Amino acid sequence: PEWLNLESTKEMLHVPKNVNWVECNQDVYKAFYADIMTSMSPLFPYILDNIKVMFYNGQDDLIVNSIGTRETIADIDWKHTEHFLNSVRKVWKFDNEIAGYTMDYNNLRFVLVLKSGHMVPHDQPVHARDMVTRFIENRPWD
Protein backbone atom coordinates (compact mmCIF):
# COMPACT_ATOMS: atom_id res chain seq x y z
CA PRO A 1 0.00 0.00 0.00
CA GLU A 2 1.11 3.50 -0.83
CA TRP A 3 0.75 4.71 2.76
CA LEU A 4 3.78 2.65 3.77
CA ASN A 5 5.95 4.95 1.66
CA LEU A 6 4.54 8.16 3.17
CA GLU A 7 7.12 10.19 5.04
CA SER A 8 4.84 10.36 8.10
CA THR A 9 4.46 6.55 8.16
CA LYS A 10 8.20 5.99 7.81
CA GLU A 11 8.87 8.43 10.62
CA MET A 12 6.33 6.74 12.89
CA LEU A 13 7.82 3.29 12.17
CA HIS A 14 11.45 4.54 12.34
CA VAL A 15 12.10 3.53 8.74
CA PRO A 16 14.89 5.46 6.97
CA LYS A 17 13.56 7.95 4.41
CA ASN A 18 15.52 6.32 1.57
CA VAL A 19 13.83 2.91 2.09
CA ASN A 20 10.76 2.24 -0.04
CA TRP A 21 8.27 -0.52 0.66
CA VAL A 22 7.55 -2.94 -2.19
CA GLU A 23 5.16 -5.88 -2.14
CA CYS A 24 7.66 -8.49 -3.31
CA ASN A 25 11.39 -7.93 -2.97
CA GLN A 26 13.52 -10.26 -5.09
CA ASP A 27 16.69 -9.50 -3.09
CA VAL A 28 15.03 -10.74 0.09
CA TYR A 29 13.63 -13.78 -1.74
CA LYS A 30 17.09 -14.67 -3.10
CA ALA A 31 18.70 -14.26 0.33
CA PHE A 32 16.35 -16.88 1.80
CA TYR A 33 16.17 -19.16 -1.24
CA ALA A 34 18.87 -21.62 -0.10
CA ASP A 35 16.73 -22.95 2.74
CA ILE A 36 13.26 -22.19 1.40
CA MET A 37 12.22 -25.86 1.54
CA THR A 38 13.96 -26.66 4.84
CA SER A 39 11.46 -27.70 7.48
CA MET A 40 11.42 -25.62 10.63
CA SER A 41 9.22 -28.19 12.40
CA PRO A 42 12.02 -29.37 14.73
CA LEU A 43 12.16 -25.85 16.17
CA PHE A 44 8.45 -25.71 17.05
CA PRO A 45 8.61 -27.46 20.45
CA TYR A 46 11.32 -25.11 21.69
CA ILE A 47 9.51 -22.06 20.33
CA LEU A 48 6.16 -23.12 21.80
CA ASP A 49 7.74 -23.75 25.20
CA ASN A 50 9.17 -20.23 25.27
CA ILE A 51 7.14 -17.90 23.06
CA LYS A 52 3.45 -17.26 22.44
CA VAL A 53 2.50 -18.36 18.92
CA MET A 54 -0.68 -17.67 16.97
CA PHE A 55 -1.70 -19.44 13.78
CA TYR A 56 -4.66 -18.02 11.91
CA ASN A 57 -6.57 -18.73 8.73
CA GLY A 58 -9.32 -17.07 6.80
CA GLN A 59 -12.40 -19.29 6.64
CA ASP A 60 -12.41 -19.14 2.83
CA ASP A 61 -8.63 -19.41 2.30
CA LEU A 62 -8.01 -21.80 -0.60
CA ILE A 63 -4.22 -21.35 -0.50
CA VAL A 64 -3.53 -22.17 3.17
CA ASN A 65 -6.69 -23.75 4.54
CA SER A 66 -7.57 -24.26 8.18
CA ILE A 67 -7.67 -28.05 7.87
CA GLY A 68 -4.05 -28.05 6.69
CA THR A 69 -3.07 -25.74 9.52
CA ARG A 70 -4.75 -28.01 12.05
CA GLU A 71 -2.95 -31.05 10.60
CA THR A 72 0.35 -29.17 10.76
CA ILE A 73 -0.28 -28.39 14.42
CA ALA A 74 -1.24 -32.04 15.05
CA ASP A 75 2.14 -33.12 13.65
CA ILE A 76 4.15 -30.93 16.03
CA ASP A 77 6.11 -33.08 18.45
CA TRP A 78 5.30 -30.89 21.46
CA LYS A 79 4.34 -31.97 24.96
CA HIS A 80 1.07 -30.00 24.80
CA THR A 81 -0.10 -30.87 21.27
CA GLU A 82 -2.81 -33.28 22.43
CA HIS A 83 -4.04 -30.81 25.05
CA PHE A 84 -4.28 -28.15 22.35
CA LEU A 85 -6.13 -30.44 19.93
CA ASN A 86 -8.61 -31.36 22.67
CA SER A 87 -9.16 -27.79 23.82
CA VAL A 88 -12.58 -26.21 23.48
CA ARG A 89 -13.23 -24.12 20.40
CA LYS A 90 -14.56 -20.74 21.51
CA VAL A 91 -16.58 -18.13 19.67
CA TRP A 92 -14.67 -14.88 19.16
CA LYS A 93 -16.90 -11.82 18.92
CA PHE A 94 -16.18 -8.23 17.98
CA ASP A 95 -18.89 -5.60 18.53
CA ASN A 96 -21.45 -8.37 19.22
CA GLU A 97 -20.70 -9.94 15.83
CA ILE A 98 -19.11 -13.37 15.48
CA ALA A 99 -15.68 -12.65 14.01
CA GLY A 100 -14.40 -16.21 14.17
CA TYR A 101 -13.44 -19.12 16.37
CA THR A 102 -10.38 -19.72 18.49
CA MET A 103 -8.63 -22.53 20.33
CA ASP A 104 -5.70 -22.27 22.69
CA TYR A 105 -3.58 -24.15 25.14
CA ASN A 106 -0.44 -22.94 26.86
CA ASN A 107 1.49 -20.74 24.36
CA LEU A 108 -0.38 -21.85 21.24
CA ARG A 109 -3.47 -20.18 19.80
CA PHE A 110 -5.33 -20.86 16.56
CA VAL A 111 -7.87 -18.43 15.12
CA LEU A 112 -10.29 -19.02 12.24
CA VAL A 113 -11.42 -15.66 10.85
CA LEU A 114 -14.88 -15.67 9.25
CA LYS A 115 -15.70 -13.99 5.93
CA SER A 116 -12.04 -13.94 4.95
CA GLY A 117 -9.74 -15.57 2.44
CA HIS A 118 -5.95 -15.78 2.27
CA MET A 119 -5.45 -12.08 3.00
CA VAL A 120 -7.15 -11.76 6.39
CA PRO A 121 -5.94 -8.19 7.10
CA HIS A 122 -7.24 -7.11 3.68
CA ASP A 123 -10.56 -8.95 3.89
CA GLN A 124 -11.33 -8.24 7.56
CA PRO A 125 -9.05 -5.37 8.68
CA VAL A 126 -11.01 -4.51 11.82
CA HIS A 127 -11.18 -8.13 12.94
CA ALA A 128 -7.52 -8.69 12.06
CA ARG A 129 -6.51 -5.76 14.23
CA ASP A 130 -8.67 -6.99 17.09
CA MET A 131 -7.19 -10.49 16.74
CA VAL A 132 -3.60 -9.25 16.89
CA THR A 133 -4.35 -6.84 19.73
CA ARG A 134 -6.02 -9.54 21.83
CA PHE A 135 -3.07 -11.87 21.21
CA ILE A 136 -0.37 -9.33 22.04
CA GLU A 137 -2.16 -7.92 25.07
CA ASN A 138 -3.35 -11.31 26.42
CA ARG A 139 -6.95 -10.10 26.32
CA PRO A 140 -9.80 -12.62 26.63
CA TRP A 141 -11.42 -14.01 23.48
CA ASP A 142 -14.84 -14.89 24.84
Tens of each residue's pLDDT in the chain, 142 residues: 788 999 999 999 999 999 998 888 899 899 989 988 898 889 999 999 999 999 999 999 999 999 999 999 999 999 999 999 999 999 999 999 999 999 999 999 999 999 999 999 999 999 999 999 999 999 999 7
- Whole-structure pTM over 0.85, yes or no? no
Quick one: pLDDT at residue 23?
Answer: 85
Quick one: pLDDT at residue 43?
Answer: 95
Quick one: pLDDT at residue 41?
Answer: 87
Q: Which residues contact 113 (CB under 8 A, 6 or more apart)?
A: 56, 57, 58, 59, 99, 100, 120, 123, 124, 127, 128, 131
Span(s) in the chain for CATH 3.40.50.11320 = 40-137
Quick one: pLDDT at residue 62?
Answer: 96
For the segment(s) 40-137, the CATH number from 3.40.50.11320, 3.60.21.10, 2.60.120.330, 3.40.50.10490 is 3.40.50.11320
